[in-house]
């Protein structure tokens, strides 16, 4: 469905589902179920923290993809936010204006308690907000098939996002459009060597590497320390980092724009800028030192090809 100027989007994330599915995608089938007890009891263990870090979800990639369909009216994420695994994402989600819905699992080892709450909220929102045009469901369970079908019957365009290999085919079929989380711009695909058999996965978690007994290793830097270190960097480095972030933002916007059109089709620069502002409302080419958005694009001619004909400015991604 083509983007329209008045498109209004609601996003619902079954956060436990996407986190667990991606963990299994990175470390091997059923790895989270085998590692759950140790993750729950000792999340700060260096080996546990390292495995969790390798399976971190790129929340921004999901939000950016949803924003490519129109204005985000509401974004909700459902999970037990007191869990150490989910708590790592709270600041990241709040920074993207995501409403965190607290769930209390009925059983200690319940994989997921979001299905009913998410579905009830989504249907209520569609009746309460009749101007909603798009619904994005970030999950993989077949339990969401009735929700996707109901949204379509109520006249909404339904987009599904799920982890490859962990998403029910029936859910993908029930959506108007389905995108694998693995293929979203900004998501690093797991290395093939990481995908182990279930028998191999717990062995790595349970047994330390052979050289740890003879050669001590420095403890991995926590996210809190890394964040503190980043804030202490000089202003010049922050400025360079802002330029890099803007370049990556432009590339994601162009890739998402081409995904909705032909790969070689030219995009209106104004539409690209609007999309970038949706993904990151703080983006401003003037704050980066450029007089216009065209000047910003010209400075990125290694990734963006600009064509100016009269008053029309077109841009497309320059492939290597």
Mean pLDDT of 295-314: 90
Distance CA 308, CA 312 (A): 6
Superfamily of chain region 8-206: 5'-nuclease (3.40.50.1010)
Paired tokens of 306: 């600009």
Q: Return the pLDDT at 5.
A: 60
Q: Return the pLDDT at 254.
A: 92
Q: 8-206 and 234-317 share one CATH topology?
A: no
Mean pLDDT of 30-35: 90
Residues 6+ apart with CB under 8 A from 52: 23, 39, 43, 85, 88
Least confident among 140-149, 218-227, 278-287 = 218-227
Distance CA 285, CA 290 (A): 5
Selected residue with higher pLDDT from 279 and 226: 279
Structure confidence at residue 107 as a pLDDT band (50, 70, 90): low
From residue 139, alpha-carbon distances to 31, 57, 74 in Å are 18, 13, 17
Q: Per CATH, is 234-317 categorized as 3.30.420.610? A: yes
Q: Return the pLDDT at 3.
A: 53
Please state, for a pLDDT cut of 90, what percent of the chain lies above it. Answer: 48
Give me the residue spans of the domains in the chain.
Answer: 8-206, 234-317
Residue 212 has pLDDT above 90, yes or no: no
Distance CA 194, CA 305 (A): 36
Structure confidence at residue 136 as a pLDDT band (50, 70, 90): very high
pTM of the model: 0.70
């Amino acid at each position: 469905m083509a983007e329209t100027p008045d498109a209004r989007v609601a996003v619902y994330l079954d956060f436990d589902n996407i986190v667990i599915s991606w963990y299994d995608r990175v470390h091997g089938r059923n790895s989270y179920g085998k590692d759950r007890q140790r993750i729950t009891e000792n999340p700060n263990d260096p080996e546990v923290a390292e495995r969790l870090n390798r399976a971190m979800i790129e929340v921004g990639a999901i939000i950016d993809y949803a924003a490519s369909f129109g204005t985000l009216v509401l974004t909700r994420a459902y999970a037990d936010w007191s869990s150490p695994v989910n708590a790592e994402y709270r600041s990241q989600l709040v920074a993207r204006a995501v409403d965190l819905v607290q769930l209390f699992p009925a059983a200690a080892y319940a994989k997921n308690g979001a299905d009913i709450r998410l579905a009830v909220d989504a249907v209520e929102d569609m009746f309460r907000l009749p101007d909603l045009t798009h619904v994005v469901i970030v999950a993989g369970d077949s339990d969401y098939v009735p929700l996707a079908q109901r949204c379509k019957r109520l006249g909404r365009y339904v987009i599904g996002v799920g982890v490859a290999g962990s998403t029910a085919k029936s859910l993908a079929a029930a959506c108007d459009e389905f995108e694998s989380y693995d293929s979203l711009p900004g998501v690093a695909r797991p290395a093939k060597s990481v995908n182990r058999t279930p028998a191999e996965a717990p062995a790595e978690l349970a047994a330390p590497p052979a050289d740890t007994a003879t050669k001590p290793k420095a403890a991995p830097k926590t996210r809190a320390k890394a964040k503190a270190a980043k804030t202490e960097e000089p202003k010049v480095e922050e400025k360079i980092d802002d330029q890099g972030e803007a370049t990556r933002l432009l590339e994601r916007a162009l890739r998402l724009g081409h995904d909705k059109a032909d790969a070689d089709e030219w995009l209106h620069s104004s539409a690209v800028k609007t999309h970038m502002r949706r993904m990151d409302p703080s983006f401003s080419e003037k704050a980066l030192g450029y007089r216009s958005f065209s000047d910003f694009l010209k400075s990125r001619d290694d990734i963006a090809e600009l064509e100016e004909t009269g008053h029309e400015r077109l841009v497309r991604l320059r492939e290597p």
